[in-house]
Structures are given as structure tokens and as C-alpha cells.
Amino acid sequence: MKKRYYFLLGLVLILILTGIIVYPKYQRVTKFMNMFKIEQITENFLNMNSFIPSRELPASQNKYNWDLKKHFIFPDSFSLNDQKFEIQTYLDSSFTTGLLIVQNDSLAYEYYNLGHSESNPHIAWSVSKSVLSALIGIAIEEGKIKSIEENIEVYVPELIGSGYEGVKIKDILQMSTGVRFVEDYGDMNSDINRWGRDFALGNSQDKFASSLENEREPGTYHHYVSINTHVLGMLLVRTTGMNISEYMSEKLWNPIGAEFGAYWLIDDSGMEMALGGLNACLRDFAKVGMLYLHEGNWQGQQLVPRAWIKASVTPDASHLMPGTRDNSAHLFGYGYQWWIPEGNEGEFLGIGVYNQYLYVNPTTKTVIVKNSANYRYNEPNNVYRSTLASLEMFRKIAHLNAN
């Protein structure tokens, strides 16, 4: 009887321990798989750390206080291809949760909706990539990384044997690795959704990156691969000896006077979701845009090298130029994790899925940040998910108030 008792007791303990370990992952996967449903998406985008592990970035010790722009006209409408859009309708139909406009270094306009607020971090998705690029530039300036012309495996040897072996850091920055990857959020079997399920389980993103293969010669074709940015995150961690959150807090977040705390999502290995896991408030994302507007200089302190900023937003090869071309899968051009539209005003954007934007126009001295929870994002013919339409709205706002 004693043996049977101890056997049953041991079985119960095993079941309890299994539940403790497995059930949170089950909850996370369930939440992740239902994240984009209409009745949940807005709350999820504002509370990602409620069901995914995260690492905090505290607000700055010396918070930057915005000057307020006294005279600002918010336009009623804009046009794209001779089609007129009422801006408020466009904001509502793209399920905008927040919109913030800075012009001439002054806070000109701030709008929140659907539960968002000035102090609530919102997930940036791939706008996170553009922020990470600044950290790479800082690490290079500090001598942590010798040159972006070096192959990535020099610093991240675990990528030897993967599709990243022999790929220059510069090609990773410019989304030109040649790595085979399907970035289609509407296809449940695509590589990006396969990665998403893996991340939801807490599995190692480093291991996932090491599993990818190459299909093209690096540096010849512009093909957006989100895992490229994770590899840059691996590079940053290996070379600085710090996790991404620590390095960003010390080198960027605190110096720009971040008004609110932020956080990065992490996997169970403690590695940040570098490709899209930054959650922050609109005001502080706008500070990143203003830093780039001033070529890396913040209130007299050169936080990011000026040369890095210029190179980051300047396409330097034929496959990276904006416009339709055979050696690019995209209409927009590309720099170091920044998108470059056609035009002559030096504009550049960070763009995240479900309509997140960080828009910078040096000519009109404008920074615009937009958060959205557009559950209709995967409808290909939905004009309210169009980056081209959003770009025209940003341009109308910027030019109407330019001095």
C-alpha cells in the first residue's frame, strides 16, 4: 500500500509540475493565435507584456519636456491616385489608436483612441527594427563592431552552416541577405507565422535564425526578412556583452529623455524580440524620430554618429532604390532598417505590421508617429491598410504646416 501511495503521490506531483510548466505556454500560444481578432487586437497591442515575457526600460532620469506648437492646422482630407480620403474616416477605418505630430521640434498634435493614452506603451512591431539600427551604429562608434563589411559569423559563430554564413553585416542591415523566407502574415504556413508560433512557445529565436537557408547571392536583391533583424540583435548582444534592453536604456532611452517606461518582449532564453518587440509610448517614439531628424544629435550631444544616420536613410545600390525594379521585391527603397519612398524631400519611415509608422521628413522638419490595431490588415484590397495612402496623409499634414 505504501508503494502505491508513493507512486500516486509522485504522479500527482509530476502532473502539477507539468501543469505549472506547460499551462502558461499553452495560455501564451492561445493568446498569440487569437491576438489579431477584432474583439481582442486593440487590448492585446496595448498589453503585450500581460501574456508574453518582457524586459523593462525605465523612463529617463531627466525627462525631456516638449515645447507646444502654438499654431497647427489639421487637414480635413488627402488624395491618392485621384481618390479623396477624409482624414478622420481614414484614421477610424485603419483603426488608429494613436497619432502624434512633431514639427520644428514642437509637439503639434496628439490623438488617442480605442483605449490608448499618452502613458500606455503600444507595440511597434517592425518600427522596432529602425530603433535597433541606431544601436548598431552606436556599437560601431564605440568599437564593439569593427566594420559592417565583415561577415556576421565573425561575431556570431553559431551562424556558421546556416544561410547567414558568408553574409556581410551590411547586407543584413539592408535586407539583402539572400536568405529564403516568406513574410506573408495572411498565410498561416508562411515562415513569419512559423516563427510566430515558435516564439509563442518561448523557443530560442537564435536557434530559429540558425535554421534558415540561403537562396540568392547576398547583396544583390532586396527581400525583406524579419529574422535578419534578429541576427542584428544577436550581433549587438555578442559584441556589447549586454542585452538589448540594457544597451538601449544606457545609450539611447535615458539620453533622449524618455518620458515613460518601455519594454521589449523576450523569449524564454531571455533574448529580445529584436525584429518587432519594442513597446513604447508615442511621445518617446517621436523623440527617436527627432533624433534622426537632427542627424543623431540630441540637445547638443551626438548620440548616434552623423555618418551612420546619413547612411541609414540613403540607398546605396540599385536593388535598394525606391521604385519598381527586377532586383527588389518592394516599391520603397531601403537603408539600414529604414524604408525610403520615392520623392525629393529626404523622407524615411519605420514601418510595422498592422499600420505602425514612424515618419520623418527633413524638408518640412516633421516627425509623425502612428499606432494602429488594424484587424483588416491582411485584406490585400483594403486601401485603409495601404502604406502609400498613409504616406500621402503624412505628406499632407507635413506640408500644410511647414514654415
Q: Is residue 52 part of a domain?
A: no
pLDDT of 18 strictly over 50 = no
- Tally the domains of the chain: 2
Q: Is residue 367 part of a domain?
A: yes
More confident residue, 238 or 16: 238
CA angle 147, 138, 121 (to 5 degrees): 135
Residue 303's nearest CA partner among 244, 352, 255, 370 is: 255
Tell me, yes or no, whether 280 and 300 share the same domain. yes
Contact 350, 131 (CB under 8 A): yes
- pLDDT tens digits for range 284-293: 999 999 999 9
Tell me, yes or no, whether 72 and 25 share the same domain. no
Range of the domain at 12: 1-33
Q: Is residue 53 part of a domain?
A: no
Q: Is residue 375 part of a domain?
A: yes
- pLDDT tens digits for range 51-83: 999 999 999 999 999 999 888 999 999 999 999
Tell me, yes or no, whether 282 and 396 share the same domain. yes
Tell me, yes or no, whether 246 and 285 share the same domain. yes
Tell me, yes or no, whether 40 and 11 share the same domain. no
- pLDDT tens digits for range 319-349: 999 999 999 999 999 999 999 999 999 999 9
- pLDDT tens digits for range 105-125: 999 999 999 999 999 999 999
Tell me, yes or no, whether 101 and 8 share the same domain. no
Tell me, yes or no, whether 295 and 248 share the same domain. yes
CATH of the domain at 196: 3.40.710.10
Q: Work out the average pLDDT over 307-316.
A: 98
Q: Is residue 86 part of a domain?
A: yes
Round to whole Å and give the CA distance between 231 and 179. 12
Tell me, yes or no, whether 140 and 235 share the same domain. yes
Tell me, yes or no, whether 4 and 130 share the same domain. no
Q: Is residue 51 part of a domain?
A: no
For residue 154, count other CB atoms closer than 10 A to its CB: 14
**Residue 103, pLDDT score:** 96
Count of CA atoms in the C-beta half-sphere (13 A) of 252: 29
Q: Is residue 142 part of a domain?
A: yes
- Model pTM greater than 0.75? yes
Per-residue DSSP letter, 151:
B
With H, G, I as helix, E, B as strand and everything else as coil, classify residue 33: helix
Tell me, yes or no, whether 20 and 65 share the same domain. no
**Residue 2, pLDDT score:** 56
Q: Is residue 314 part of a domain?
A: yes
Tell me, yes or no, whether 143 and 15 share the same domain. no
Alpha helices in 204-305 (DSSP H): 205-210, 226-240, 244-248, 282-293
Contact 214, 180 (CB under 8 A): yes
- pLDDT tens digits for range 179-190: 999 999 888 889
User: Average pLDDT over the chain, rounded to whole?
Assistant: 93
Tell me, yes or no, whether 20 and 165 share the same domain. no
